[in-house]
Amino acid sequence: MYGNFAAVYDFLMRDVDYKKWAEHIESIMKKKNSEVKNILELACGTGNLTIEFTKKGYDIAGIDISVEMLEEARKKAKREKLELVLLNQDMTELDFDLYDLDCVVCGCDGYNYVLDDEKILNSFSTVYDILKPGGIFIFDISSEYKLREILGDNTFTEVNDEVSYIWENFTEEDICQMDLTFFVKQKEDEFGESLYRRFEETHVQRAYEIYEIKDLLASAGFDDVEAFGDFTLDSPEGDSERIFFAAKK
């Protein structure tokens, strides 16, 4: 996952307002009375949130399991003349020497990709260990409603001069498999016709109920946990598509 996809990820996510996403995370920090100067970002991907938090003056490091995604993040940082600390790590097997961190964040479905309770608990437990007393852990997931009802067994397509795709979803119990076929423009041939490269990726996400995440956070040691729905500071509704969690140590 996120191999060839890394090169087209930002194009496909071009409508996402990462500045507002970062601002929402800050609003959660404020609501939970958290003083944050340094951040560890899990599953940072191509660095969209990492860059926003860097611009806001936070001392931030990002980790991601995909070397290709991190390379895209480095390219963007170079274009914007920013220095990012980026590490290639699996967030379910964190090897991080710093402790007493103010905040750990994980945005945009990172934990939906963790399919096993033991692995997600291991990640939560390590986050708990590296946070300072009073430190905060903020992350979001695609809701069970979104994965079952919005994505479900549906097929989505987009035809664009630069990138086109077919996105087929298959849902069984709490697992949503997403099979993606991409056609990415490479160049024009001698007759002026566009040539496209085709590649395929399969992504698998797990639909978690809110109580399951809260139970895992409690098992990791967190006893101050709150959930918010759809970029608000209100409790999630039954049709909330994105759930944010805030857990304080």
- pLDDT number for residue 7: 86
Pair 119, 226 in one domain: yes
Tens-digit pLDDT profile for residues 95-104: 888 789 999 9
Rg over CA atoms, the chain: 19
**Structural domain containing residue 182:** 146-206
Q: Tens digit of pLDDT per residue, the chain (249 long)?
A: 567 889 899 988 999 999 999 999 999 999 999 999 999 999 999 999 999 999 999 999 999 999 999 999 999 999 999 999 999 999 999 988 878 999 999 999 999 999 999 999 999 999 999 999 999 999 999 999 999 999 999 999 999 988 999 999 999 999 999 999 999 998 776 666 788 999 999 999 999 999 999 999 999 999 999 999 999 999 999 999 999 999 999
Tens-digit pLDDT profile for residues 195-219: 899 999 999 999 999 999 999 999 9
| DSSP secondary structure of the chain | --STTHHHHHHHTTT--HHHHHHHHHHHHHHTT---SEEEEES-TTSHHHHHHHHTT-EEEEEES-HHHHHHHHHHHHHTT---EEEE--GGG------SEEEEEE-SSGGGG---HHHHHHHHHHHHHHEEEEEEEEEEEE-HHIIIIIITT-EEEE--SSEEEEEEEEEETTEEEEEEEEEEEEEE-TTS-EEEEEEEEEEEEEPPPHHHHHHHHHHHT--EEEEEETTSSSPPPTT-SEEEEEEE-
Pair 79, 116 in one domain: yes
Asked if 104 contacts 123 with a C-beta cutoff of 8 angstroms, the reply is no
Pair 67, 128 in one domain: yes
Asked, for residue 1, whether it belongs to a domain, the answer is no
Pair 64, 76 in one domain: yes
Provide the number of structural domains found in the chain.
Answer: 2
* pTM for the whole structure: 0.95
Asked, for residue 77, whether it belongs to a domain, the answer is yes
